[in-house]
Amino acid sequence: MKLGPGEPEADSWQVEPFTTFVRRLTGRVIAVDGRGGSGKTTLAERIGRAHPGSVVVHTDDIAWWHSRFGWADLMVDGVLRPWLAGGDVRYQPPAWPAHGRDGFVEVPASAPLVIVEGVGASRRELTPYLDSVVWVQSDYEEAKARGIRRDMAEKGVDEAGALREWDEWEVEEVPFFLEDRPWQRAGYVVRSIVLDREAVELHLGPVGGAVRG
């Protein structure tokens, strides 16, 4: 597996049933982080289905037309802090109305679990609000290929357009992860190659040396 810049590979793996893995994830807020195209959304949605009533909050929705990586304050102040204080969340990120997007990010106070999913979901600024952190480890080139196919299908762009957008994204993603290094704060590392099966290939604990905060 060829990993992305600066990311170390875990040195020990175990295979266990998905249901066993889900029971490991404790607390009220779980972050599912990883590079673009790694399979984060697939994993987050499967975790959500295992917890009826839970809500998946996508970082892409918070960041939409705002900033690829400068959205941590919006996630904290708009979603996590008010929900953890016991309130219903009905949050419209500031860029939505300016760009014609209706609706809200909604999390009822009664939700048993919030799953924050996306690139940077476990970033340093969110650490005080997270109970369990999962890093999805993926092959760098395979993740890119998946991301290109996804963008072509979802955005209706041709391959050249999808590649151009991917390259623009990567210009910011690579330095962000090199600085933030979320895999060093992960409680669990999951290999993306088994996300669609009934088992997960799992590394317990961080990789590359654990850090605090």
**Model-level pTM?**
0.93
Q: What is the pLDDT of residue 9?
A: 87
Residue type, 199: A
Domain presence at residue 160:
yes
CATH, residue 42: 3.40.50.300
Query: How high is the pLDDT of residue 195?
Result: 58
Report the Cα–Cα distance between both ends of the chain, in Å, rounded.
Answer: 28
Assess if residue 1 is contained within a domain. Answer: no
Report the C-alpha dihedral over residues 72, 138, 5, 206, rounded to 10 degrees.
70
- Residue 212, domain member (yes or no): no
User: Does any domain span residue 84?
Assistant: no
Residue 198 domain boundaries: 14-71+112-204
Tens digit of each residue's pLDDT, the chain (213 residues) = 899 999 998 889 999 999 999 999 999 999 999 999 999 999 999 999 999 999 999 999 999 999 999 999 999 999 999 999 999 999 999 999 999 999 999 999 999 999 999 999 999 999 999 999 999 999 999 999 989 999 999 999 999 999 999 999 999 999 999 999 999 999 999 997 655 678 899 999 999 876 654
- Residue 203's pLDDT is 95
Q: What is the DSSP secondary-structure string of 5-25?
A: TTPPPPS--EEEEHHHHHHH-
Number of domains, the chain? 1
Torsion angle (degrees, nearest 10) of CA 68, 100, 109, 111 = -70
Per-residue confidence (pLDDT) for residue 125, from 0 to 100:
98
Residue 55 domain-assigned? yes
> Could you tell me if residue 57 is inside a domain?
yes
Report the 10 Å Cβ neighbour count for 29: 19
> Is residue 7, in this structure, part of any structural domain at all?
no
Q: Is the dihedral of CA 182, 207, 16, 192 positive or negative?
A: positive
> Are the C-beta atoms of residues 116 and 72 closer than 8 Å to each other?
no
